[in-house]
Amino acid sequence: MSLRRYAVWAVAVVAVVALAVITFMRLTRTPRNVAYVSEEDGEISVIDLNTMQVVKRVHPKDIAPRGLGLTFDGKYLFTANKDTADGVVFDARNLKVIQRVPIGDNPEFVKLHPSGKWLFTSFEPGSSGGPPKEGPAGTETDDNADEPRSQIVSFNVGDWSRVHAFPAGKETEAIEFSSDGNQLIVANEAQDNLGVYEIETGRLLQNISLATYGKRPRGVKVSPQGDSYAVTMEGSGTLLTLDQNFKVMRTVSTAAKPYGVAFDRLGKRIFVVAAAARKLQVYSADSLQPLGEVAVGQRCWHFTFTPDDSKILLACGRSNNVYVVDVNSYQTISVIGGFQTPWGIVTYPRAFGSLGLP
C-alpha cells in the first residue's frame, strides 16, 4: 500500500471512529437545559430551554401522566398515571419506557426525597379527583366524603422496588419534606389539614389543622433555608406561611383557586399560580406583601423556574399551552402551544418550582 493510500485509509478510519463516538455520546448523554412536561391525555414532551421549542414528544400506550419527578442525575423520569394505577420509569435520554410499577388508584403527586434515594407518590382510592362541585345555592358538595383514605407509597430509586406504603388523609395532594429529610408533609385537601409523617417508618407524628385559616390545602413547599413552609388553600383562596414547627405565621388572600407554589432560590419571594383566576402571583416571603402578578393561561397547575432562575414556565392545562414568564419583570415572554392538558413540568438541571427543588 502506498503511503498516500495508507494516509487516506487512516483518515477514513479516524473519521468513522469519531462519528461513532459522537453518535454514541449523543445517544447516551443526559439531556441538559430541558424541561419535561406531563400531559394528562398521554404525552410526555421535552422543551429545549435555549430555544423554548418542543424538541421531542412521545405518547406511550396506556399512559396518562400527571405527577412527574426527575432523578438527581437526570437519567430517569418517573410519572404517576391516573388511568392505570401505576407509575412509569422512563430513560430520560430517549423517553423509552424502562419499567412500570404498581401504585394504586388515581395516583397524582410525585416527589424525590432530598437524599435522592427514594421517590414518594400518593394515590387516592375511590376519588374522582378535583375539587368538590358547587351546589345550587353556591355551597360546595363533596361527592368523595365517604371515600377511603389516601395512601403514600415510596420506591427505591434505581431498582424501583417498593419501600413503604402507609395511609395518609383524604384527598392527599402535595408532598413535601422537612429540610433534614426526616419528615414527610402532605396536604389533605378534604380534611383541611397537613399530615406530618416519619420518613423511616411512615408513622403519623401530627396533624396540623388549617380549618380556621381556609379550605382545601393543595400546595406545600419548604423554603430554601428550611425554616418555613408555604401552603396554598384552593377552596378559600389563601396563602399561608408556617414556621419549621408548623405554626402559622402569616396569611394573605390570593386570586381564585391557588395551587402550585414555590419559593425562589434565595427564599425572598413566593410564587403562586391561581389556576381559576389565570394569574401567576408573587409575594414577599417574609411579609406576604404582593409584589406583582401576570396573566397566564387557563388552569395552570404547576410551574418551574429555568435552571438559571431567569424565567418561569407554567403548564396551563385547560388552554393546552406553556407560558414563559420573566422572573423579575413578571411579563410574558412567549407562549408555547400544541400540548394536550399539560399538568406537570420539571427541568434538568433540576430547578426550583412547584414540583422541583428544594
Closest CA to 355 of 190, 180, 221, 185: 221
Domain contains 250: yes
3-state secondary structure of 70: strand
Same domain for 115 and 13, yes or no, is no
With cell 400546595, the residue in question is: 219
Closest CA to 107 of 52, 151, 169, 143: 151
User: For residue 201, what pLDDT is reported?
Assistant: 92
Order of strands across the sheet that contains 65-70: 65-70, 76-81, 86-91, 96-102
Domain contains 355: no
Q: Is the peptide bond preceding residue 31 cis, with omega within 30 degrees of 0? A: no
Contact in structure between 86 and 79 (CB atoms under 8 Å): no
Percent of the chain, pLDDT > 70? 86
Same domain for 138 and 185, yes or no, is yes
Please determine, for residue 241, whether its predicted confidence score (pLDDT) is greater than 80: yes
Same domain for 248 and 267, yes or no, is yes
Same domain for 24 and 125, yes or no, is no
Domain contains 215: yes
User: For residue 70, what pLDDT is reported?
Assistant: 97
Same domain for 20 and 54, yes or no, is no
With cell 402578578, the residue in question is: 293
Contact in structure between 241 and 247 (CB atoms under 8 Å): no
Please determine, for residue 96, whether its predicted confidence score (pLDDT) is greater than 90: yes
Domain contains 356: no
Q: Which three cell numbers stand for residue 234?
A: 384552593
Same domain for 57 and 125, yes or no, is yes
Integer CA distances (angstroms), 117 to 74, 111, 134, 186, 354, in order? 13, 11, 42, 19, 20
User: For residue 61, what pLDDT is reported?
Assistant: 86
Least confident range of 36-50, 134-148, 171-185, 314-328: 134-148
Contact in structure between 37 and 48 (CB atoms under 8 Å): no
d(CA 205, CA 207): 7
pLDDT digits (tens, 9 = 90+) for 139-175: 444 445 567 899 999 999 999 999 999 999 999 999 9
Same domain for 55 and 169, yes or no, is yes
pLDDT digits (tens, 9 = 90+) for 2-33: 656 665 565 555 445 444 444 444 555 899 99
Order of strands across the sheet that contains 53-58: 53-58, 44-48, 34-39, 342-348
Q: What CATH number has the domain bearing residue 106?
A: 2.130.10.10
Same domain for 25 and 98, yes or no, is no
Q: Which three cell numbers stand for residue 343?
A: 399538568
Q: Which three cell numbers stand for residue 78?
A: 418517573
What is the overall mean pLDDT for the chain? 90
Domain contains 76: yes
3-state secondary structure of 12: helix
Mean pLDDT value across residues 327-356: 97
Same domain for 135 and 17, yes or no, is no
User: For residue 317, what pLDDT is reported?
Assistant: 96
Same domain for 59 and 98, yes or no, is yes
Domain contains 343: yes
pLDDT digits (tens, 9 = 90+) for 98-127: 999 999 999 999 999 999 999 999 999 865
Domain contains 280: yes
User: For residue 324, what pLDDT is reported?
Assistant: 98
User: Does 142 or 283 have the greater pLDDT score?
Assistant: 283
Domain that includes residue 2, residue range: 1-30
d(CA 283, CA 294): 12
Same domain for 23 and 75, yes or no, is no
Same domain for 132 and 214, yes or no, is yes
Considering its fold, how many domains does the chain have in total?
A: 2
